Every structure is written in structure tokens, then in C-alpha cells.
Amino acid sequence: MWSIYKKDLSQFFSSLTGYVAISIFLLVTGLNVFVFEGNVFESGYATLDIFFSLTPWILILIIPAITMRSFAEELQSGTYEMLATKPLSESQILLGKFFAACTLLMIALAPTLIYFIAVSSLSIDGAGIDTGATWGSYIGLLFIGILFCSIGILSSILSSNQIVAFLLGVFLCYLIFDAFLRISNMEFLSSQMSYIIMSLGASVHYDAISRGVIDTSDLFYFFGTTIFILMLCRFYLESKKW
């Protein structure tokens, strides 16, 4: 597993993929936090709300771009068959690629801690920034990013075409993050059905964690959904042998 992990991680940075993805992510978030309209200086409060509300939408595009080649390239070039003949199980290959994508996600998020330090130092009257909500939001971003990584890996397995894998990944990430919430707001749904559909979406659980309160139901949602998607990935990999 770790050989696959090291191979994929080094592959990210041996080409422009990893550098471009991280650079675009930091550039867009930095401009929105400090430069564009509605930035932290205009709000008048020591808060990173703009960053935490925008970042999941950026990850919907960035993570599928990172993961689209993980299996699609192997399947298209025929190297996956050779990889499968090595003394590695489907689970080890899958987890190696999944952990490599998650590591890249954490590398991308780590420099944004500078935003937290900068905004905290700019606060006046010793008010400071809401540390609990900020760390909760970071944990929520990590959870939702890991969920998107599993979706991106699944999309890459479903299609050997990298562009199709990217588009499918974007669609599925959007579906699980925002579409369920929009569907739940439809007027013809009963309140109970609306609540059930809303609970299927990741944005509700992300918002709950972002308030600084980490509930077991939110943890169960992220861990359970990610594991379920990885199990689907393993099933599809095994089905390619049949």
C-alpha cells in the first residue's frame, strides 16, 4: 500500500498537477479573503467566514482534478493489469491512492493557517477570532475534502477517460454537497421527508461542525459515507476481474 502511496504522491509533484492545483486553491482563497469585495477588511470582524463558505466549492473542482488520473490513467494505458499482478490486493491499491489524494488535500489546507494568524493579529480591543468555530471549520473542511477524495477516486474507476472522470467527480461532489439541500427545500415534500433528504447532504453536517460543535451524528455521516464509497470503489475494482 505504501509503495502505491509514495508513487502517486511523487507523481503529483513530478508533474505540474500538484503544484497547479495547490497554487490555484491558495490564490483564489487568498484573493477572496483579503482582496475581493466582501473581504475580511470590509466586514469589520475578525472572522474567516468567507474562506470557510467558499472553500468547499473550490474543492468540488480541485479534488476531482487531482484524482481524475488516479485510476483512469492506469486503466486507459493498461498498466492497472500489471499493477494487479503484483502482490497487492485491490484494497491496498485503493487505499494507497486514496491516502495520497488526502495527503495532497492536507498540504493544500496547511498554508491557509496563515489566514487565521493574519486575521487574528488584525483584530482590535483584544477581541480576537472565534478559535473554537475556526478549528471546527477546519475539521469540517478536512472531513468534506476526504469525502470528495473518495468520490473522485470512484469517478476515476468508473471511467478510463480522465475528462469524463473529472466531470463525473464534479457532478457527484456537487450532488452530495449542495443538491440534496436544494431538493429538501421543495414545497411538495413533507417536513419529515425534507429533513431526511437534507440529512443526506454534506453541507448540513459541515455547517454543524463549523459552529465548533462536533456531534457524533456528523462524524458518523462523514466516516460512514466515505467508507461506503471506498467499498463501492473496491467492488468495481474486483468486478474488472470478472
| Closest to 48 in 3D by CA, of 135, 107, 167 | 135
CA distance readout (Å), 233 to 52, 158, 186: 29, 9, 32
Q: Which of 26-35, 77-86, 224-233 has the highest mean predicted lDDT (pLDDT)?
A: 224-233
3-class SS at 46? coil
Output b/e per residue, 55-80; b: 16+ Cβ within 10 A.
bbebbbbbbbbbbbbbbbbbbeeeeb
Range of the domain at 154: 2-239
Could you tell me which residue, 240 or 170, shows the higher pLDDT?
170
Determine the Cα–Cα distance for residues 78 and 114; give it in Å rounded to an integer.
43
Lowest mean pLDDT among 7-11, 65-69, 77-81: 77-81
Percent over 70 (pLDDT), the chain: 90
Q: How many CA atoms lie within 13 A of 11 on its CB side?
A: 17
pTM of the model: 0.89
Query: CA triplet 176, 181, 185: central angle to 5 degrees?
Result: 155
Which pLDDT does position 71 carry in this prediction? Answer: 82
Determine the Cα–Cα distance for residues 51 and 111; give it in Å rounded to an integer.
13
Above 60 in pLDDT, residue 49?
yes
Q: Which residues, 6 or more positions from 38, have their beta carbon under 8 angstroms from its beta carbon?
A: 32, 50
What is the total residue count of the chain? 242
Determine the Cα–Cα distance for residues 184 and 192; give it in Å rounded to an integer.
10
Q: Which residues, 6 or more positions from 90, have their beta carbon under 8 angstroms from its beta carbon?
A: 84, 234, 237, 238
| Closest to 236 in 3D by CA, of 68, 71, 54, 38 | 71
Average pLDDT over residues 176-202: 84
| Closest to 180 in 3D by CA, of 209, 202, 208, 147 | 202
Q: How many domains would you assign to the chain? A: 1
pLDDT, one tens digit per residue, over 109-157 is 999 998 888 887 776 655 567 777 888 889 999 999 999 999 999 999 9
Average pLDDT over residues 144-172: 93
